[in-house]
Amino acid sequence: MQGLVTVFGGSGFVGGQVVRALAKAGHRVRVAVRNPNLAYRMRMLGDVGQIEVVQANVRNVPSVARAVDGAEAVVNLVGVLWESGRQKFQTLHVMGARTIAEQARAAGAARLVQVSALGADVNASSKYLRTKAEGEAAVRAAFPGAVVIRPSVVFGAEDKFFNKFGQMAALFPALPLIGGGETKFQPVYVGDVAAVVAKAVSSPAAEGLTYELGGPTVYSFKALMELILRETGRNRVLAPIPFFAAGLIGKVGDLSPINPPLTSDQVESLRTDNVADHGLPGLAEAGVVPTAVEAVVPSYLYRYRKGGQYAEVPAGAF
C-alpha cells in the first residue's frame, strides 16, 4: 500500500470521489473533516483499515497540524458556495487554504493539491471567484510546488447544479435564465475530477502546474435548462431575468441560513463564462478521457419526473 494522503473536505460531493480514487490507487487515506460522526461512510470506500476519519477545522491550526502529521501528500477540497455563520469565503478559501499549505510544508509533505474553481481571478466581481484566486496565491506562497486544479461546474449524482434545477423544474412553473441564459459552461464529471486529483498526488510531472478541467462540450445556461426539462419531462417556461433583477433576488437569498436558491455573489459569477479556454493543461494532459453530461445526468435526473423511476422516458430525453 502506498503512502498516506490527508484529504481536507473529503466527505463532500467531490471529496467522496477523491477518497475513493485515492483508495483505489492504493493510498492510505486520512479524511479530515469538521464533524467525523457525519463521515462514517468514508471508511467503506476502501479496504479495512485503509481509510481513517479525523477531526480538523481549517480555522484551527493545531487540528490541521495533527491531520497532516505523517502525510506524504495533502489534498484541500474545502470550500463553500455561499457564506453563512463563520463559514466565510475569506476564512475558508484564503486563510484556511494558507493554513493547510503551511502545515503541509512544515510536516514534510511531498505534494499538495489545491482544488480551486474555474474562473478564479483576483479581479473577478464575484467574491467566491476572487477568494479562490487569493487562496491559490496563498497556497503557492507557502508551498511553491502545489498543484492547482480548477474544475468547471461539477456534475454527478449528488451535484448541486443539475439536482437544484431538476427540483425547481418539478416544483415551479418556470426556470430562470439569469442574464438571458447566455453564460457558457463546460460541466465536468466528478469522477474525472477525482481521477485528476489522484494522478496529481502521485505524478512528479504535475508539480507546480495549474489544471483547468472542463468536459467535452460547452453549453449555454439556457441549453442546460432545456436539457434538464427534456430529461425530467417537464414543460416549463424559461424566463429571462436581467442581471439587475437577479441581483435583487440574490440579495434576498443572501439572508437565507441554508441552501439559498440564488445569492447576489452567484449572480455576479454568472456574468462571466465558465469555460476552460486559458491554454492551461486539462483532462487530456492528465490522461483522463472526459465524460459527457448526456452519459451520466439521466441516471439521476429521473427522480424529478412525474412518477420518478417508474415514469416513461420523455420524448427526446437522452
**CATH code at 192?**
3.40.50.720
* Confidence (pLDDT) at 266: 94
Structure confidence at residue 136 (pLDDT): 98
Euclidean distance between CA atoms 57 and 69, whole angstroms:
15
Q: What is the pLDDT of residue 318?
A: 54
Q: What is the pLDDT of residue 310?
A: 57
For residue 92, tell me if it sits in a domain. Answer: yes
Examine residue 261 and state whether it is found in any structural domain, yes or no: no
Please report whether residue 68 resides in a domain.
Answer: yes
Query: Residue 80 is part of which domain span?
Result: 2-155+187-213
Which pLDDT tens digit goes with each residue over 248-260?
999 999 988 778 8
Nearest-CA neighbor of 103 among 149, 56, 136?
56
Look at the pTM and tell me if it is higher than 0.85.
yes
What pLDDT score does 38 carry? 84
Using only C-alpha atoms, the chain has a radius of gyration, in whole angstroms, of 19
Residues β-bridged to residue 189: 155
Check residue 72 and give its pLDDT: 97
> Counting beta carbons within 10 angstroms of the beta carbon of residue 40, is it exposed (0 to 12), middle (13 to 18) or buried (19 or more)?
exposed
pLDDT reported for residue 257: 76
* Rounded Cα distance, 262 and 269, in Å: 11
- Total domains present in the chain: 1
* All cell numbers assigned to 128: 467566491
How would you class 93 by CB atoms within 10 Å of its CB: exposed for 0-12, middle for 13-18, buried for 19 or more?
A: buried
pLDDT of 314 reads 54
- The confidence score (pLDDT) of residue 1 equals 53
| CB of 147 closer than 8 Å to CB of 197 | no
Q: Are 17 and 83 in contact (CB under 8 A)?
A: no
Q: How far apart are CA 269 and CA 291, in angstroms?
A: 25
Choose among 51, 6, 39: nearest CA to 197: 6
One-letter amino acid identity for 39? A
Instruction: Tell whether 90 is covered by a domain.
Output: yes
CB 246 within 8 A of CB 178: yes
Residues 196 and 151: their CA atoms lie apart, in Å, by 10
- For helices 190-202 and 13-24, what crossing angle results, to 10°? 50
For residue 182, report the phi and psi dihedrals to the nearest 5 degrees.
-90, -10
CA 84 to chain centre: 18
Residue ranges in the chain whose pLDDT is less than 70? 1, 308-318
Could you tell me where the beta strands, DSSP code E, fall in the chain?
2-8, 27-33, 51-55, 73-76, 111-115, 147-151, 154-155, 174-178, 184-185, 188-189, 210-213, 219-220, 237-241
pLDDT value at residue 86: 84
Which grid coordinates are listed for 291? 465524460
